[in-house]
Amino acid sequence: MVRSRDRSRRRPAYRRRPNEFRWLWIAATATYGVGDLVSTIAFLEYVPTIREANPVVRFALESFGLSGLVALKIVVYLVMLWISVEGAREGDGLLYYFPPVVLTVTGAYLTASNVRLLWVA
């Protein structure tokens, strides 16, 4: 089999390695989508004396309540998923891996931070 150096003729990474793509996005969903969302909601409900630090998230919460927070997270998630898929189609490894890794690391950090604040409050 001859490998093509032409990136436009190669199959996208998510088709060549579907399990890798799936697990990258499961990790992003678990940490950013679920972990941060649940810990933020718990934090807001159980520690009302402390405000949300992120001004964009604070605006979404003040304007639209929890549905604004959920909508904001969904929009960010879908934009990052789109970037990853486009990166895979273009054969760009950085754009393929960067979005789910960033969401996973960010979600893990924010979840841990929220849980810590819940613990000390």
Q: Is residue 11 part of a domain?
A: no
Does 25 fall in a domain? yes
Predicted pLDDT of residue 12: 80
**59 part of a folded domain:** yes
Residue-wise pLDDT for 85-120, tens only, equals: 999 999 999 999 999 999 999 999 999 999 998 888
Q: Is residue 40 part of a domain?
A: yes
Domain count for the chain, please give it: 1
Mean pLDDT of 15-27: 91
pLDDT tens figures, 37-82: 999 999 888 888 888 889 999 999 999 999 999 999 999 999 999 9
Domain coverage including residue 111 = 16-120
94 located within any domain: yes
Residue 78 lies in a domain: yes
What would the DSSP string read from start to end of 57-95? HHHHHHHHTHHHHHHHHHHHHHHHHHHHHHHHHHT-HHH
Torsion sign (Cα): 23, 25, 26, 28: positive
- Residue 9 — pLDDT band, cuts 50, 70, 90? low
Residue 70 inside a domain? The answer is yes
